[in-house]
Amino acid sequence: MAASLFSLDLSLKKTYLFLGGIISFACTLFILPGQDTGELASFAGTPFSLQRSYPSFKGILAKKERVFTASFPDLRNELEVLLSESRPDGLQKGVLTTVLLKRSRERRQLLNGEKLPLTYRSQEGRSLLSFGEPALLFISTNMLSVNKIEFKVELADSHQELVFLQKDSLETFQLVPKKEAAVDVHELLPYPAFKTLAAAKCWGGDQYLAVYSPGEALAERLEMEGPEGAYFCSVREPVLLFFEKGKWQPVNQTTATDHLPIARIRSRSAKMLELEGWDEKGKYFLFSLPLLSGPPLKIRMEEVLTQPRLRTWKQMSCFIEKERFFFKKGDRIIRSSGKWRVLQEENDLPPLLADTELFVFDGIHQKNGQKTLHGHLFNPMRTEYVQIEIPLRTQKAKPLEGAPTPQVRSRKPAKQKLALDTKTQVARKPFPREKIA
């Protein structure tokens, strides 16, 4: 009897345990979870005040999302926004926004809707907002207009997953974008292409072309250092430059630029040339180059060009530093390494050298009855010029070729009178005439 009761008691215990398990399982499925509030992990030194709510019962049908309520830091005082243009060759789509952290001076670029991670790091005993991981915040931008950028702020949990699912858990604010400032040279060190461009010497437009090709738009001349030494690159708006094999070059119709750094002129003033550029990934650069004036003119052609003489209507001769030269209209004479010579290449532009003056003989004009030599003298780098006028002397021994021949009236030669030498003249008596019988 006792054995029977013991066996029955054991069976009932097993039954109770089995029923208890079923009831517990049913509770995890169907019983609504209660709410409990706990503190989120502390962010020492950061302006966060955070609370989170999570389910008391974590059943299969219970909600697994954790909903946070947060008091956000006022990022309007922490951020600046700068508008940057996207690559003009079509590689990059959308408006590029530059976000600048005021205190740490860090900057990042992002497109509309792209999310940027923010965190806090300790520096000199204070906490500074910084870009990077592990992310505490994510920000994204939406361009409402040219003068208004909307920011959306979201909080990330310890796994960098966005946990805000409710409308009131998002914070938005708006900022007015500022003009992109010039890039500091130190920021260009990791980017060799733009480091080279930012170190270029800008000589402005070629004044030789301004005088002798007045209808042509002047290109800005940039002098840069390449793998083989110094070289010149000319660029005019709106032509793009591309960087390949260590050199900047103008883009032509066959150039594929989608994998190359590119740049172009953004604006020009009397003293500065502003350039903007993009690297292969669309990172934006903006910097300015001062316009250089070149060495001043220190020579006077009136003193260098001596004994000018008009040989024909199209040609003249002179002495330059004791050497005789013959010029015709359009001749170009350069002084390089202290010596003057006439350029033989008629179609090529004269070379650009730091110590080379250029004189162009424009022809012979008559002014106030005086024939004068006319020309232009350009300083080295041809950033300025002066007009030259020098009086000429003509050679009487040789008639001018092409000059009108003066008309002379023909007349009979006058009778020559014999002049007697008074010293040899002797007084003689006339011979008596003989009478003819």
Supply 109's token pair: 């670029």
Q: Say if residue 37 is in the same domain as residue 152.
A: yes
Residue 298 one-letter amino acid = K
Which of residues 229, 263, 290 is at a domain's end?
290
Higher-pLDDT residue of 418, 373: 373
pLDDT at 184: 72
Q: Say if residue 40 is in the same domain as residue 113.
A: yes
Residue 409 lies in a domain: no
Q: Percent of the chain, pLDDT > 70?
A: 65
Element (H, E) at 13: helix 2-30
Which of residues 229, 260, 290 is at a domain's end?
290
Residue 96 lies in a domain: yes
Distance of alpha carbon 397 from its chain centroid, rounded?
Answer: 60
pLDDT at 290: 95
Give the total number of structural domains in the chain: 3
Predicted confidence band of residue 185 (pLDDT cuts 50, 70, 90)? low
Q: Say if residue 189 is in the same domain as residue 150.
A: no
Residue 404 lies in a domain: no
pLDDT of residue 97 exceeding 90: no
pLDDT of residue 263 exceeding 50: yes
Q: Which domain holds residue 378?
A: 301-394
pLDDT at 252: 84
Q: Three-state secondary structure along 396-431?
A: CCCCCCCCCCCCCCCCCCCCCCCCCCCCCCCCCCCC
Report if pTM > 0.75. Answer: no
pLDDT at 408: 44
Chain segment 286-312, per-residue pLDDT in tens: 889 999 988 888 888 888 888 888 777
Contact criterion met (CB below 8 Å) for 193 and 210? no
Q: Say if residue 115 is in the same domain as residue 48.
A: yes
pLDDT at 428: 47
Q: Say if residue 132 is in the same domain as residue 194.
A: no
Q: Say if residue 125 is in the same domain as residue 207.
A: no
Q: Which of 97-106, 177-186, 243-252 has the lowest mean pLDDT?
A: 177-186
Closest to 270 in 3D by CA, of 209, 352, 202: 202
Residue 86 lies in a domain: yes
Predicted confidence band of residue 17 (pLDDT cuts 50, 70, 90)? low
Residues listed for the chain: 437
**What is the pLDDT of the chain when averaged over all its residues?**
75
**Hey, CA dihedral for 344, 349, 352, 356, is it positive or negative?**
positive
Q: Say if residue 52 is in the same domain as residue 168.
A: yes
pLDDT at 169: 47
Predicted confidence band of residue 25 (pLDDT cuts 50, 70, 90)? low
Higher-pLDDT residue of 169, 192: 192
pLDDT at 35: 44
Q: Say if residue 61 is in the same domain as residue 98.
A: yes
Residue 93 lies in a domain: yes
Which of residues 180, 209, 241 is at a domain's end?
180
Q: Say if residue 142 is in the same domain as residue 274.
A: no
pLDDT at 247: 95
How much is the CA Rg of the chain, to the nearest whole Å?
47
Q: Say if residue 128 is in the same domain as residue 71.
A: yes
Average pLDDT for residues 154-167, to the nearest whole number? Answer: 51
pLDDT at 409: 45
Closest to 135 in 3D by CA, of 156, 106, 153: 156
Average pLDDT for residues 162-168, to the nearest whole number? Answer: 43
pLDDT of residue 168 exceeding 50: no
Residue 20 lies in a domain: no
pLDDT at 52: 53
Q: Say if residue 81 is in the same domain as residue 216.
A: no
Chain segment 44-91, per-residue pLDDT in tens: 455 555 555 555 445 554 545 555 555 667 788 888 888 777 788 866
pLDDT at 322: 84
* DSSP codes, 62-114: S----EEEEE---GGGTEEEEEEPPPTTSSS-S-EEEEEETTT--EEEEETT-
Higher-pLDDT residue of 434, 340: 340
Residue 67 lies in a domain: yes
Residue 202 lies in a domain: yes
Q: Say if residue 150 is in the same domain as residue 267.
A: no
